[in-house]
Amino acid sequence: MPGSCQRHRAIAGRARIQRRMRRLPASHPTSACGRARGREGMIGRMIGRMIHRTNFAQLLRAAMVGAVLIAASFLTAPLAAADPPSPPADIRESPADLLDRLLRARRFDEAQRLMQRRMDDGDRDPVLLYNSACALAQLGQLQAAEKRLLECVKAGFRDFDAMEADDDLEPVRASRTYEAIMEARTAIDARAPSALAPRPRRKTLVPDPVAQWKSDHPEEYRSDKGYRYDHGEEGNGGENLVYATFLDEASHARMKRMLDELATHLRRAYFGKPPEDIVLVAIVRPADAKKYLERAEVRGMYLHSARRLVSRDAGQSLQHEFVHLLHFAQMERIGQRHPIWVQEGLASLYEDYEFRADGSVEFHPNIRFNIARRQVVSKTAKHWDQLFALSGEAFMQDAERLYPEVRSIFEFFAREKKLEEFYRQLCNTATTDPDGSSAVEKAFGEPLARVEDRWRKWMIERGAIDDSIDQNDASLGITVDDAGDGVRIRSFVLKSAAKAAGLRVGDVIFEVGGSPVRNRDEMQLAVARLVISTPVEVKFRRDEQELTLPVSPRALGR
């Protein structure tokens, strides 16, 4: 399926006109380039005078208006002599066809090198610049992508609807540059000649994530290779969720039930409809993880442009990314882009939760809570007005500190029973309140600063949670490795409680005392809650059989 970068051939006619005009010498009396350069210089001087007395959006708007005038000169000037007839097609692939193929295959690194060579040779075609911005965004070079996006607009790119719908620009949506472009588009549209007017919005081309995954992993499922495929719950939109996991049958079914239940809750509480496109949810084999998750510490990722969620295990990272999946589907459907603190705060909140018997949800503090609390106690937690205004890039640069804070904010919203009302207000005020501040004030009926003060007081009074296992603490007496759907026992310590109860090396524990355990972090929290000599049920898998044994925790080190 073609990548979204190549959805802009409709303005290739304008690009060809510009390329023809570049072949005219600047001194030619009928050269549009000569007239355009004069006008460009005028705009440059105007921007220079404005730079110290205007905000960023105004500055960008002036630059873009100048670009419209330049582009208009190209359109109204007489054309040079017609290009000579094209030579017979060579059997080799042309540079344009090669670039098209690389972009369609989403081989952005190679495509960007090819585009950079063209730009180094002086090619400033707006479509080329736009595709380069998309490639840079997908490669994670966000500052370069923002700069290139601004360059493409200044060069005459005007398909703002396509820009808004293009998933390849997702990494830079929250940037100041992108926001300023969207803010300035109204002024640009009003001044643009009809030939440059934006075209009606087109439906985004969506890849087939399941076909791509099966192409990359063609092996039939076995215990040591391949993937097991399944659909979500039918009749409620779940059929658009396709699961691919390497889990055994029982663990796969348990994961599916968990996500089906979570999806029903999230749609009812926040997002309304299910995804309109097919989305792949994959628990990736360790041997395949490097292809999708660049660093070992990255537990999972949802890439909306590919409609693909990949997680190393069926635990907290899967739940976190699953919230992103449904959130992005709703934002695209209603044409909104919520601030990064909301996206990550809501997703982080669902890392640790349980449904009560009455169907309501209870959120538990996880390993992030103590980090956030220490920041509040030491008065280093970011003030909300500053936090809410952060771009996506700025947030991610300080992610280790900010993820715990935004999760604690959303946990506070839930404790105050304001979470769903906040989200409703957020959607209602998105156009006038891009950072979510007024949504908080409307939900609580108080000024933002007062709500923040209440959150800080709650964080301190709540106290720290026990998230460590120290000498003399209750322990099962085991060392473990991640196993995708639990933790596999690697060894026993001296006088191990688990060994005494009958567990063996190689057993995969997936529940302790009623708490799901799907990775080492969850295991640590579950064990930290145990009490010495108080028996607890441990559920585990041995070969293909699931078993339960009571274990009496012992003091670590005794």
Residue 273, number of CB atoms within 10 A of its CB? 12
Q: Is 489 or 13 the better-scoring residue by pLDDT?
A: 489
Q: Using pLDDT thresholds of 50, 70 and 90, give the confidence band for residue 390.
A: very high
Query: Among 140, 198, 247, 243, which Cα is nearest to 11's?
Result: 198
Statement: residue 293 has pLDDT above 60: yes
Show Cβ contacts of residue 151 under 8 Å, excluding neighbours closer than 6 positions.
124, 129, 133
What average pLDDT does the segment 66-84 reach?
Answer: 38
- The 8-class DSSP code of residue 451 comes to H
CA angle in degrees (0–180, nearest 5) for 537-360-357: 45
What per-residue confidence (pLDDT) applies to 126? 86
3-state secondary structure of 66: helix
pLDDT at position 161 is 77
Is residue 218's pLDDT more than 60?
Answer: yes
CA atoms of 554 and 535, how far apart (whole Å): 10
pLDDT of residue 544: 83
**Residue 13: predicted pLDDT:** 33
What is the pTM assigned to this prediction?
A: 0.64
What DSSP letter does each residue of 44-57 carry, written as one string?
HHHHHHHTTSS-HH
Place of tokens 């001296």: 494
Q: Look at residue 189 in the predicted model and tell me its pLDDT.
A: 55
On the question of pLDDT at 63 being above 60, the answer is no
Judged against a pLDDT cut of 90, whether residue 192 lies above it is answered with no
Q: What is the arithmetic mean of pLDDT over 71-93?
A: 39
Helices (H), 350-436: 369-377, 384-388, 392-397, 399-415, 419-428
The bridge status of strand 279-283 relative to strand 554-555 is: unpaired
Q: For the residues 44-64, what does the mean pLDDT come to?
A: 43
Answer whether residue 120 shows pLDDT above 50: yes
Q: What are 459-512's pLDDT values in tens digits?
A: 999 988 877 777 888 999 999 998 888 999 999 998 899 999 999 999 999 999
CB 326 within 8 A of CB 259: no
DSSP letter, residue 205: P
pLDDT at residue 233 is higher than 90: no
What domains are defined for the chain?
4-196 (no CATH), 209-462 (1.10.390), 474-555 (2.30.42.10)
Q: What confidence score (pLDDT) does residue 232 get?
A: 84
Tens of pLDDT along 273-287? 889 889 999 999 999
Instruction: Give the pLDDT confidence score for residue 106 in this predicted structure.
Output: 87
Per-residue pLDDT, 205 = 57
Question: Is residue 257 scored above 80 in pLDDT?
Answer: yes
Q: Tell me if 328 sits within 8 A of 270, measured CB to CB.
A: no
Q: Are 198 and 204 in contact (CB under 8 A)?
A: no
pLDDT tens digits, 148-175: 999 998 888 888 878 888 888 988 887 8
Q: What is the DSSP code string of 270-332? A: II-SPPSS-EEEEE--GGGHHHH-SSTT--EEEEGGGTEEEESSSSHHHHHHHHHHHHHHHHH
Q: What is the DSSP letter of 510?
A: E
Over 70: is that where the pLDDT of 15 sits?
A: no
Residue 391 DSSP one-character state:
-
* pLDDT top residue among 275 and 35: 275
The phi-psi region of residue 543 (left if phi > 0; otherwise alpha if psi is between -120 and 50; otherwise beta) is left
Q: Looking at per-residue confidence, does 519 or 60 come out higher?
A: 519
* pLDDT at residue 489, rounded to an integer: 94
Quick one: which of 399, 398, 402, 393 has its CA closest to 142?
393
Nearest to 324, CA basis, from 392, 377, 370: 392
* Total residue length of the chain: 558
Average pLDDT along the chain: 80
pLDDT at 509: 94
The winner for highest mean pLDDT among 247-251, 414-418, 528-532 is 414-418
Looking at residue 79, its pLDDT comes to 35
Q: What is the pLDDT of residues 350-386, one digit of tens each?
A: 999 999 888 889 999 888 999 999 999 999 999 999 9
Reported as type and span, the H/E element at residue 243 is: strand 241-245
In this structure, how many other beta carbons lie within 10 angstroms of the beta carbon of residue 44?
13
